[in-house]
Structure 1
């Protein structure tokens, strides 16, 4: 795979080395990928040119029970009818979730176009929506650090680091800031000892520092690495960040409403600091 760059920063990481084969993947990932390829090749015979894993797997941060398998399915032409792959995803195991985005070779050679409709499977639902997961993040993940389970011949991915940074800044203000406000509103007035859903605090505490890390280092990092990054830059929140990192590895931690206030303070400090860079 080759990349097409525009406005690329010197801090952008280099294209990763040759990807490992199926035998080098964690067993649950290997089994899911093999099952998916068998199913999708039957549903779309001869159309699946490539399959690339993104997200936690190539970053070495896959944890069964807390991680999904993220994949980009490369087709010769755009997939417009989600019904063609519905049976594929219905037949796949629910855990770990196999989240797939269907993209064409021509799409990836150009900047991501959020006005286009894309078929994707995410959070247990097959969807066809404008934009969807299409963003400079996905394009850069594919170009820099994906694992090619099936390599699409001559694939070119447009990787624009300046666009990636601009998207990240916008995401901090348009997505994460309102989500923090929702968390604050939803938990206001609840007793401090009320147990909160286990995923909420780690989602914020490990998610937002990923964007800070990108703007600071130029690299797309895993959630675990984002937690370590936050420990370094915001050490006063070490107990909260450490507990969130512990849940990432599969060891249960109990979070309560009392954890909301430090989560909000930390995450807002991370956003403010990131936007100042």
Structure 2
């Protein structure tokens, strides 16, 4: 069941975007759709299908929602032009992390949309979105690990940030399962997979505590140690996962 505050936000969002753009459908994906949503921690991932490129007023609309309800800062939406739905390489207008920019709707997101098949407005994803093949999904995952995540291991600074620690380990675990079985798993399930990949137990516990337990300040010595452990794990495990 969706939290009442989240449902109000989603309902208000659908109403608001329909006032400023030619919206054909609004779809839900990510943790809320797949049953791993943590209020105040997880993002609210949405895709809107529009008849034409969204106007600049879309960005203003997102910022108004955030001013009215801080939870809206977690609401991320990509705006897919209906005529370009079939091409996963096309970059679409997106509001996420407080910024308005362009990015593709990846094969992973497309497969998530197909699995959850949830519509907040308009037709279901299954009726409009072309299917993503297993080969397309696997190729994207390998490319993402090889070309995005692995090069970052040559740097030191990113690994001191929570988001890089969390997403790197969870992405690797999820990639391993998808490349092995073809299935998509949640971030919560990914935490259970990490020990089998010989991820540092202390780092896995750290991620679990921050995502699902009470928050607390990290000691400087642990932040440094965690960065070293995470960077080492990512650099050695990615080649194994994509081989």
TM-score > 0.5 by shorter chain: yes
CA positional deviation for 1:126: 1.5
Matched, 1:166 2:139: yes
Q: Relative to 1, partners in 2 of residues 1:227 and 1:163: Cα closer, same or farther, differing over 3 Å?
A: same
1:207 matched residue in structure 2: 171
Matched, 1:25 2:25: no
For residues 74-121 of structure 1, what are the alpha-carbon distances to aligned partners after superposition, in whole Å with 9 as ceiling and x for unaligned? 12x231x5403122111122435211011133333x241x2x342111
Looking at structure 1, the residues matched to 240 and 49 of structure 2 have their Cα atoms a distance apart, in angstroms, of 37
CA positional deviation for 1:146: 4.1
Of 240, 243, 254, the residue aligned with 2:206 is: 243
Aligned-residue CA RMSD in angstroms?
2.3
1:267 matched residue in structure 2: 234
Unmatched runs of 5 consecutive residues or more in structure 2: none
1:20 matched residue in structure 2: none
1:152 matched residue in structure 2: 123
1:142 matched residue in structure 2: 113
Of 219, 224, 236, the residue aligned with 1:257 is: 224
Looking at structure 1, the residues matched to 114 and 18 of structure 2 have their Cα atoms a distance apart, in angstroms, of 24
Unmatched runs of 5 consecutive residues or more in structure 1: 1-23, 189-195
Q: Does the Cα contact within 8 Å between 2:158 and 2:164 map onto a contact in 1? A: no
Of 57, 66, 69, the residue aligned with 2:44 is: 69
Looking at structure 1, the residues matched to 6 and 158 of structure 2 have their Cα atoms a distance apart, in angstroms, of 36
Structure that is richer in helix per residue: 2
Q: Relative to 1, partners in 2 of residues 1:38 and 1:148: Cα closer, same or farther, differing over 3 Å?
A: same
| Superposition map of 1:54-65 within 5 A | 54-65=29-40
2:182 matched residue in structure 1: 218
Structure 1 length normalisation: TM-score? 0.76
Equivalent position SS for 1:126? strand
Question: Comparing both chains, which one has the higher relative contact order based on Cα–Cα distances under 8 Å and sequence gaps of 6 or more?
Answer: 1
The alignment of Structure 1 onto Structure 2 pairs a total of residues equal to 233
